[in-house]
Chain A
């Protein structure tokens, strides 16, 4: 083998000029392949890891109320965060994502924007410092300025504002109320791409307060992983978290009172859909009065035990008070007993059943303390379990953007009053980017394979010519005892060696060219900016892909060389020695 290798190398060097030109062709093909691949991977990386990840996180947990995609509120932020931290692996950080659309009015004119609530950590501070054009970052955090805001230079230009100027902002609260605020420009940044320029930054606490989110609430929770570009990890963790977010029955433990009578009671919501109502008729017996209407604002079904304790009859009003989980408050609501019920499933329970609308109105606005002693607990096996309102409903996991859209459209159609919860990864929500990258890679690969096909025809031609020129040499080496297979391997090795050296040269050339192209500063805020990082062209070569292509081309070269080499090895030594041109 060593002999064949040294002979091959010697033969390559014997025909320097011919092999040099052939090598250049192969190098060029390899260089284009590596660059095209690095470029498409760079675009994807730029879109996913420098843009979309800041909008969605690698994974996100969202809760939407009133079956509206616009009402994104996680009421019990700490609880959901604890579940995430306990069950999701390899977390880099869990962030509150609070974002709202707004209209800004500056000195010159108005413009629309996306307002992002931020907490400045070391990474973000570094980013701000690198891109600061004007202003003082300390003003943003010091708390001395009214609603401090960081904006990008193009937005500042449109609005006609500069450092310490004020901007009027119009937006909506999470429940859709009109809200306004006067913002003070504390810093102006240089945008790195077209998408950045659309956003402005407000301190998270300020933005939450402006749009009506209380400290224990948030818009969405975004999870970032330590390992990036690992979509399978993100999807696996999302599935895992999804399984752990199974909701229980929403329960409010409190005190019901009428006149001077007081009794500990548990309030539950009952589902308003037709199926649940039919089930209700089977499992509950309304002994007097009626089941409150779906649209009723204050109607309640009271269990016979509670009705007896408080002396309630249908039509009577009573109050139900409970302690809230946050804010150390007590909430009191007045209800009217629409009916009295009894059920074998809960014979001794002092229960108040409210329709979903009435129940979630108080449950979501004033989260009750976690169930304590005295609260009636219904197990999953209880016949009433299926008809009671859950803490939330989980939307099914979806793996493509199209499925996500269908899922959200179905949710809007449902008109359910309680909160919907959704767990998704950016690789699923933005799967079109991965598809785009795949398409780019396929196009590049096909183009380069065509190029290689042409180059390899040249290889075959060259090899045939070489064999013809070296026929007498083949005869000589066969005559002195070289085996047929050795002759075959000699020619294959020559071709593979040439291809390997050329490919390595091509890879080196690709890296040099990518480095050179990356040196040019390109000032653009157009869509072309998705090709840039820090205003420079961005290539992201990956070792696995380059190695894959390298070996693919070696195999192609070996296969191409096989048939001429076989023909050469099959020549008779006598015939070959007699060969004369």
Chain B
């Protein structure tokens, strides 16, 4: 009788423990990928404020259209005036930069800077986190996921390392909100292990049941004083006209 009681207690303890156990990091990143995949078509107005030490503040504004199904996106620049009317169009493997003053499309590679900012063409590609990164295993080979508080929010913290060699940051540390798996903070490290950037995603919105981060803050940890804030507005996830992802559309906008 006594042994049966011990077994029942042990089973209950294990059940309680498993009910409170943190999910595996690999499952969390699958959930993040799933949430991002749900967005589908997206149109948004993005405002980017870049604060560079000793160089002052630069503001960029653009319209961003994205269609995941066909791997297409279009960026139309609205500000500053020197860049107004220029744009970037990606259709499948092709990526063009449009110059309004010369009315020309130049084929560019995914490594090239967008609008002279730190963002590269490749950053806008549809990529799954799970294809690029894997969780950093602990001493015993198990995935390490810590439960912490980020401010007042309970989060899971885990480290990812690159599976492929063409990602910008070989190591990233994620803080993901426990109740809905939204990434709130990401630290990015260089190959030699130096903290390069901390990204915060403090504001999210839900549109048609899809989570979209409406404010991104990027702190340059290598060169202190540099900060970039991206704010999204006018978000729509309604189906986009396929004509948007054409050269003609971009040209017509600047006529």
Contacts and interface: CB of A to CB of B under 8 A. Distances in A.
Interface of A: 66-71, 103, 105, 109-110, 168, 170, 172-173, 175-181, 212, 409, 412-413, 415
Contacts of B167: 176-177
**Size band of the interface chain B makes with A:** 20 to 34
B222 interface: yes
B241 interface: no
Contact of B109 (A69, A105, A170): A69
B222 A168 contact: yes
A176 B111 contact: yes
A412 B108 contact: yes
Interface stretch (B43-51, B186-194, B205-213): B186-194
Nearest to B167: A177
Contact of B166 (A69, A176, A179, A181): A176
Which of A67, A68, A71, A180 has the largest count of B CB atoms less than 10 A from its CB? A180
B168 interface: yes
Interface of B: 53-54, 93-94, 106-111, 120, 122, 162, 165-170, 188-192, 194, 196, 222-223
B54 A109 contact: yes
Given A105-B223, A110-B223, A168-B222, A180 B111 contact: no
A409 B222 contact: no
B93 A415 contact: yes
A412 B109 contact: yes
B79 to A, nearest CB: 25
Given A177-B167, A178-B191, A412-B108, 17 more contacts: A66-B109, A68-B110, A105-B222, A109-B53, A110-B223, A170-B190, A170-B223, A173-B191, A176-B166, A177-B162, A178-B188, A178-B190, A179-B191, A180-B194, A180-B196, A181-B192, A412-B107
Contacts of B165: 173, 175, 177, 212
A542 to B, nearest CB: 41
Given A67-B109, A109-B54, A179-B191, A413 B169 contact: no
A535 B107 CA distance: 42
A170 B222 contact: yes
Contact of B169 (A103, A168, A178, A212): A178
B109 A177 contact: no
Contacts of B223: 103, 105, 110, 170
Contacts of A180: 190-192, 194, 196, 222
13 contacts: A67-B109, A68-B110, A70-B111, A109-B54, A110-B223, A172-B168, A176-B166, A177-B190, A177-B191, A178-B191, A212-B191, A409-B106, A413-B107
Given A110-B53, A212-B191, A175 B109 contact: no
A177 B192 contact: no
B168 A177 contact: yes
Contacts of B122: 176
